[in-house]
């Protein structure tokens, strides 16, 4: 009788354990999906921010590009990007390139060691929401003078090949991962990669007409600061999913830490940009503060899970300081970026990745050597890839609208419609 009681108790305990594991699996999976939806909202933030920072004659064009980028990102990531980014490198592989095939092929049983905390489909949709971000960064930097179709061709190729390939070097278990390179949610893998591609486009396109004159730099104001501010707050909101979802579970302590470091770095970025821009320009520049918030968010993204409260604030403040200095530097080099994407994503992405080696509080966090290697390798590949693609498009289809079209505005010349009645 006693043996039967023990057996029954063990069976009940096993069932309880199984139920608890399934409940935890469900919570983890749900959080990944919620985070994916929050990252999706970031694309609305990018669209709104870029629309606010361009002239009203180019608003339809920027919204059209951002609408197409998320569609391109989802489809190309489904077709080949996911399996290029997570190819399952063989043990004897160099960890540089591998491809698991076209399309999506879920395992027969999603409850495998690889998918112990969420399903294959949750993994795909969360990662897919990241995929188009690099091309979105480029969209703002080359705004107001690039032809629509060549840009969409570039975005398709970049998201299908370049972004997932460099991402595989770390997140896919490639050679940078083996070296110890650390990038929690993508200061380099997502943001500076997009910034390097944007820089290549800016160089080949040249500045907007009238931006740099013999009398100096002529500011070209965005048409709607309210739209730009709404865009930044949407991005701020979405970043909680971007970084918080990158925990890849609903671990209460770690997710809440990541939320906190993310928010404090953004706040530090706003303050850093506020004081620095005032010292430099003697005014209270809203655009600098908005980009300072984004710079802080980009800066913390590489190490949001391993930073202390003080460290996250310092990282944000330094990112905010970088913003006006970088914007001024690019203008002096006559590299025209209407939204400051290269300053926010490229420069602050580099800073955030290096900050891991300075402040990171964990065993095995990236050393300076590993972090610099990752920055240089991903940056060089992304820049050269984007430069080659843009150059081929330039000599074949052309990438810049003519002077009359630019003067008239891309809304009329490319879309035959206006954003406002």
* Distance separating alpha carbons of residues 274 and 148, to the nearest angstrom: 35
Q: Is the pLDDT of residue 7 over 80?
A: no
Q: What is the pLDDT of residues 353-409, one digit of tens each?
A: 999 999 987 776 779 999 999 999 999 999 999 999 999 999 999 999 999 999 999
**CATH superfamily placement of domain 31-415:** Ammonium transporter AmtB like domains (1.10.3430.10)
Handedness of CA 111, 113, 115, 116 (dihedral sign): positive
Mean pLDDT of 183-210: 97
pLDDT at residue 3, as a whole number: 65
Q: What is the pLDDT of residues 214-251, one digit of tens each?
A: 889 999 999 999 999 999 999 999 999 999 999 999 99
Q: Are 9 and 16 in contact (CB under 8 A)?
A: no
Q: Is the pLDDT of residue 210 over 60?
A: yes
What is the 3-class SS of 332-346, one letter each residue?
Answer: HCCCCCCCCHHHHHH
Q: Is the pLDDT of residue 113 over 90?
A: no
Q: Is the pLDDT of residue 112 over 60?
A: no
Q: Are 350 and 295 in contact (CB under 8 A)?
A: no
Chain mean pLDDT for the chain? 94
pLDDT at residue 109, as a whole number: 64
Q: Is the pLDDT of residue 317 over 80?
A: yes
Q: Are 196 and 387 in contact (CB under 8 A)?
A: no
Q: What is the pLDDT of residues 270-293, one digit of tens each?
A: 999 999 999 999 999 999 999 999
DSSP string, 276-315: HHHHHHSS--HHHHHHHHHHHHHHHHTTTTT--HHHHHHH
pLDDT at residue 41, as a whole number: 97
Q: What is the pLDDT of residues 30-82, one digit of tens each?
A: 999 999 999 999 999 999 999 999 999 999 999 999 999 999 999 999 999 99
Q: Which positions ≥6 away from 262 have C-beta within 8 Å?
A: 239, 240, 243, 244, 297, 300, 301, 304, 312
What value, to the nearest 5°, has the Cα angle with vertex 373 and ends 369 and 377? 180
Sequence-ordered strand ranges (E) for 12-166: none
Mean pLDDT of 309-316: 98
Distances (CA, A) of 191 to 196, 219, 251, 379: 9, 26, 25, 10
pLDDT at residue 110, as a whole number: 59
pLDDT at residue 111, as a whole number: 55
Q: Pick the range with the lowest mean pLDDT from 105-109, 202-206, 335-339, 379-383.
A: 105-109
Mean pLDDT of 111-121: 76
Q: Is the pLDDT of residue 1 over 60?
A: no
Residue in the structure block whose two tokens are 């043990």: 91
15: confidence class by pLDDT, cuts 50, 70, 90: confident
């Amino acid at each position: 009788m006693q043996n039967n009681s023990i057996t029954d108790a063990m069976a009940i305990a096993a069932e309880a354990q199984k139920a608890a594991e399934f409940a935890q699996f469900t919570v983890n999976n749900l959080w990944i999906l919620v985070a994916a939806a929050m990252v999706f909202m970031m694309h609305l933030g990018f669209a709104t921010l870029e629309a606010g920072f361009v002239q009203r004659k180019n608003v339809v064009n920027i919204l059209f590009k951002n609408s197409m980028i998320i569609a391109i990102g989802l489809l190309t990531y489904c077709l080949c990007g996911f399996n290029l980014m997570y190819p399952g490198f063989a043990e004897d592989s160099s960890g540089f390139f591998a491809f698991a095939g076209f399309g999506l092929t879920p395992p027969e049983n999603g409850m495998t060691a690889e998918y112990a905390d969420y399903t294959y489909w949750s993994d795909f949709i969360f990662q897919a929401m990241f995929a188009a971000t690099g091309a979105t960064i480029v969209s703002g930097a080359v705004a107001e003078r690039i032809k629509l179709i060549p840009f969409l061709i570039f975005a398709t190729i970049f998201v299908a090949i370049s972004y997932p390939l460099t991402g595989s070097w770390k997140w896919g278990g490639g050679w940078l991962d083996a070296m110890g390179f650390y990038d929690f949610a993508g200061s380099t893998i997502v943001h500076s990669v997009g910034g390097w591609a944007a820089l290549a486009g800016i160089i080949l396109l040249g500045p907007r007409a009238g931006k740099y004159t013999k009398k100096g730099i002529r500011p070209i104001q965005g048409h709607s600061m309210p739209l730009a501010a709404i865009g930044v707050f949407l991005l701020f909101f979405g970043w909680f999913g971007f970084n918080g979802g990158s925990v890849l579970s609903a671990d209460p302590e770690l997710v809440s830490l990541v939320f906190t470091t993310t928010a404090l770095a953004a706040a530090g970025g706003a303050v850093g940009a506020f004081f620095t821009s005032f010292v430099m320009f003697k005014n209270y520049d809203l655009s600098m503060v908005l980009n300072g918030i984004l710079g802080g968010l980009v800066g913390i993204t590489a190490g949001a899970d391993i930073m202390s409260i003080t460290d996250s604030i310092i990282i944000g403040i330094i990112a905010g300081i970088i913003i006006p200095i970088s914007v001024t530097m690019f203008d002096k080099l006559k590299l025209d970026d209407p939204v400051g994407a290269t300053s926010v994503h490229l420069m602050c992405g580099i800073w955030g990745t290096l900050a891991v080696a300075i402040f990171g509080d964990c065993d095995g966090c990236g050393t300076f050597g590993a972090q610099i290697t990752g920055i240089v390798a991903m940056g060089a590949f992304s820049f050269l890839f984007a430069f080659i693609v843009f150059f081929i498009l330039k000599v074949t289809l052309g990438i810049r609208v003519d002077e009359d079209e630019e003067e008239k505005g891309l809304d009329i010349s490319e879309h035959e419609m206006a954003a406002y009645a």
